[in-house]
Structure 1
Amino acid sequence: MVYYFKARPEAGDYTIFMGLDNYENEELIKYGFPEDVWFHVDKMPSAHVFLRLHKGQTFDDIPEGVLEDCAQLVKANSIAGNEVNNIDVVYTPWHNLKKTISIDVGQVGLHNSKMVRTVKVEKRINEIVNRLNRTKVERKPDLKAEREAVNEVESTERKNQLREKGDAA
């Protein structure tokens, strides 16, 4: 089960999502998209929250309000993090997540710690969490099939671009 949320409407059309448990998180980690950004409470157990950016955006382009939505959702879905104030939420592009055989299910390492940003969350803002929860939709997606479909479209686009370059020459 994956939970999908809509970020604040004035920020644009952004989807935020998280897995039900460690096994769902493992699938989200495995079949992520290059446009995905991963969020987690720093040094505490919490949900793995993902934000799907628009093509061409980087994690430095995340609108402030969307960043706040993601950070609040992570805090609200961390037992320890939800009980204390002034926590740090870390975020990084999906491709910076590292899985090895020695890492437990649902946990990740990082390829490059310099690609991690931190946002301070002083306290839980119920107005934000409640707004996000009103948009929550539960689905059982076939993450592997979604990823393969995107790979196929991107491969076809690359082939067409190469063919067009060859025709123009």
Structure 2
Amino acid sequence: MVYYFTSTRDDTPKPYSLYMGKHKEENEDLIKYGRANDVWFHVDNLSSAHVYLRLDDDADDESWENLPEGLLEDCAQLTKANSIDGNKRDNITVIYTPWSNLRKTKGMATGQVGFKKEKLVKKVYVQSRTNAIVNRLSKTKIERFPDLRLQKLEYEMANAQRNKTILNEKYKREYELAQERKQLAFEKDHAYDDMFSEQNIKQASNQNRDENWEDDFM
């Protein structure tokens, strides 16, 4: 089972999807079948749910490094609220990083993860629980039983097709540009060809002029 939440705020440009597993076994599946545009949240140094934020692939202005302040607050509050110890404490820290930076190796406990690059891990300070935020998010909670493996496969296939389309458009533009340059170069190289045609040379030659041709200038 996966719990889904929707973060909707006046200070964010649109609604955002948050999700987390019910228990550590499901956390394993979320770790395995996450997406590159997902952002992972966890209470620092305490047990907590693994909360994920899903960003859009097509939004060039979205990045885990510059999340809207309100959205980041929602993610941190939801993570804190789903930590047995963290929910009881004030002044905690929530860490977050791209899903692609998560590292899972043999010997790690169920639900445990490490990081490929520590420099890609950020922290957000949470002074205390904000019930208004937690209650607002809780009202959007939906329980689902998704086939995460199938969803990941469909996502990768769609992403591959989109990338193929983008690449084909790029090659098409490059080909058209090359053809335009080739045509311009040809026109430049042959701009004076007509001036030296046999007909123009005849017209410019004095040999075929009338004996009184000079009269034209009188």
Q: Report the TM-score range of the alignment, normalised by the length of the smaller protein.
A: over 0.9
> Which residue of 47, 50, 53 maps to 2:52?
50
TM-fit CA distance, 1:58: 1.4
Q: Counterpart of 2:5?
A: 5
Q: Counterpart of 1:103?
A: 108
Q: Does 1:86 align with 2:63?
A: no
Note the aligned Cα RMSD (angstroms). Answer: 1.2
TM-fit CA distance, 1:166: 4.2
Q: Counterpart of 2:30?
A: 28
Q: Counterpart of 2:160?
A: 155
Q: Name the % identity.
A: 50
Report if aligned partners of 1:3, 1:20 keep a CA contact under 8 Å in 2. Answer: yes
Q: TM-score, normalised by structure 2?
A: 0.74
Report if aligned partners of 2:48, 2:82 keep a CA contact under 8 Å in 1. Answer: yes
Q: Counterpart of 2:39?
A: 37
Q: TM-score, normalised by structure 1?
A: 0.95
- Name stretches of at least 5 consecutive residues in structure 2 with no aligned partner: 176-218
Letter in 2 for 1:72: Q
Give the secondary structure class of the aligned counterpart of 2:5: strand
If asked which structure has higher relative contact order (CA below 8 Å, sep 6+), I would say: 1
> CA 1:67–1:166 in 2, change beyond 3 Å: closer, same or farther?
closer
- Name stretches of at least 5 consecutive residues in structure 1 with no aligned partner: none
Q: Which shows bigger deviation, 59-68 or 154-163?
A: 154-163
TM-fit CA distance, 1:34: 1.0
Give the alignment of 1:130-145 within 5 angstroms: 130-145=135-150
TM-fit CA distance, 1:167: 4.2
Q: Counterpart of 2:80?
A: 75
Provide, for residues 26-52 of structure 1, a one-character-per-residue CA deviation record: whole Å limited to 9, x for no partner: 111111111100000000000000001
Letter in 1 for 2:94: V
Q: Which has the larger Rg?
A: 2
